[in-house]
Amino acid sequence: MQALDLAVANLTSPPVLAFVVGVLAAAIRADIRLPDAVYQGISLYLLLGIGIKGGVGLREAELTAIVPAVGATLLLGVSVPLVAVGLLRVLTPLGPIDRAAVAAHYGSTSLVTFTAGLVFLEASGLPVEGFAATLLAVLEVPGIVVALLLARRYLSDTDGWGHALREVVTGRSIVLLVAGLLIGAGTGAAGYAAVEPFFGGIFVGVLTLFLLEMGVVAGRRLPDVVRVGPGLVAFAIGMPILAASAGVVLGLAVGLSVGGAAILGVLAGSASYIAAPAAVRLALPEANPGIYLGASLGVTFPFNLAVGIPLYTWIAQTLG
Amino acid sequence: MRQQLSLVTVIAEAVLEHRLVSEVRSAGATGWTITTARGEGSRGVRASEWEGGNIRLETLCSPAVADLLFAALEAHYFPHYAVVAFEQQVSVLRGEKYGA
């Protein structure tokens, strides 16, 4: 597909349009948010569904294909926060603790961006390695830990550290994802067929509902971003492009398909807004949540959803 | 038979739930009740709007335990988190259950 076709196909997909509607609703202060329990239920469904599908793929994959891909993902998890801290130092007036807090979000990854990427690649006819969800699980934790360690020497109170590390490693997103991988790997393709109508058939519909909610929350974050200034906005767009390009190149280098390299790019380029904020709030209470959430949720997430995913796909097609 | 005890209420960011529960326990309270709460204060911003905004934690305890809990809140929570804490004197049945 050509670059423009990719962009148009992405922008007119139901999940992306639902997100746009959510942002507009936030702008006019309409209350269309999902009830808390429904939100929690849907996030559980998405995590488990992605995990189970990834587990089925993991069972069928060759170890020689998985190991280099996991290695490349770990390398991204460790290096992205380091690059992010350096870039923030150049682009923004933020102090060291706020820089580390933002870097933790960009070092980790986003389930919903990954899921939107999978849906997009499937619609574009680009196959993705079945074990891609394993890479999502691998990338979730190391970036947060690296960034928190960078900030540790600047802290006056490290009382929340144990709780923060526990939150990172046993948070519901990583636990549900790993649980799904285990279920999928244990049951295999034959077992998955029984739950496919629920976890596959209606998946994009449920994702659409979730993105409506995300739109409202992201829309509310926009004023925070404006307050911090153009440097942070430049970072929140430049960093994902840089990290995603590195992800695509590394993905192709370790033998992933074009679709697989594109999804590794999406993983590297996306910023966390569920696991990282909770951990950062506990470990770095002095950091301003308006800054890290504004950047990851207010700028990077919408950018990736609208522009990033087709852009990274195009980069993978061009290089692959 | 009624006894006088402290009812301590802490309203805080939901992300602090596990930490606050361990503070309550180590201060010596024998139990607590947590409900989700909504509201607005001077800080406004939450780390995660999806992890359930705020919690309201209540515990019945002796005034000495309340003092320990308040000291912990002052040292580690008030400077950087959205936390409201207050104490009321209440009459409680079976006060020995709560450390009277």
Q: Which CATH number is A88's domain given?
A: 1.20.1530.20
Confidence of residue A297 (pLDDT cuts 50, 70, 90): confident
Strands of the B54-61 sheet, one edge to the other: B33-37, B54-61, B2-13, B83-93
- One-letter amino acid at A219 equals G
* A170 min Cα distance to partner chain B (Å): 13
Chain A residues near residue B50 by CB distance under 8 angstroms: 36, 39-40, 43, 217, 274
pLDDT value of residue A203: 85
Most confident of A119-133, A208-222, B34-48: A119-133
pLDDT value of residue A1: 56
Reading the block at residue A182, the tokens are 């285990």
Alpha carbon B51 to its chain centroid, in Å, reads: 18
Q: Do B47 and A163 touch (CB under 8 A)?
A: no
pLDDT value of residue B52: 55
Is the ipTM, as predicted for this complex, more than 0.90? no
Q: Do the beta carbons of residue A91 and residue A232 sit within 8 Å? A: yes
Chain A residues near residue B13 by CB distance under 8 angstroms: 281
Report the alpha-carbon distance of residue A87 to residue A288 in Å, rounded: 18
What CATH number does domain B2-93 carry, 3.30.70.120, 2.30.42.10, 3.40.50.1700, 3.30.420.40?
Answer: 3.30.70.120
Mean pLDDT, range A114-121, rounded to an integer = 91
Cα-Cα-Cα-Cα dihedral of A181, A184, A185, A187, to 10°?
A: 150
Question: Could you tell me the sign of the dihedral formed by the alpha carbons of A65, A67, A72, A76, in that order?
Answer: positive
Mean pLDDT, range A219-242, rounded to an integer = 87
User: Is residue B27's pLDDT more than 90?
Assistant: yes
User: Is residue B50's pLDDT more than 70?
Assistant: no
* DSSP 8-state secondary structure symbol assigned to residue A33: P
Percent of the residues in chain A that have a pLDDT greater than 70, as a whole number: 98
Report the alpha-carbon distance of residue A71 to residue A283 in Å, rounded: 27
Confidence of residue B45 (pLDDT cuts 50, 70, 90): low
Q: Do A278 and B15 touch (CB under 8 A)?
A: yes
Mean pLDDT, range A57-74, rounded to an integer = 89
B45 touches chain A (CB under 8 A): yes
Q: What is the pTM for the complete model shown? A: 0.86
Cβ-based neighbours of A43, under 8 Å, separated by 6 or more: A173, A210, A274, B50
Q: How many domains does chain A have?
A: 1
Q: Do B46 and A157 touch (CB under 8 A)?
A: no
pLDDT value of residue A293: 85
Mean pLDDT of chain B: 87
Mean pLDDT, range A247-254, rounded to an integer = 96
Percent of the residues in chain A that have a pLDDT greater than 90, as a whole number: 38
For β-strands B33-37 and B2-13, DSSP reports them as: unpaired
User: CA nearest A131: which of A44, A67, A198?
Assistant: A67
Confidence of residue B100 (pLDDT cuts 50, 70, 90): confident
Residues of chain A whose C-beta is under 8 A from some C-beta in B?
A: 36, 39-40, 43, 157, 159-160, 163, 166, 217, 224, 274, 277-278, 280-282, 285-286, 288-290, 293
Q: Give the range of the structural domain holding residue A299, as residue numbers without chain letter.
A: 3-25+33-217+225-319
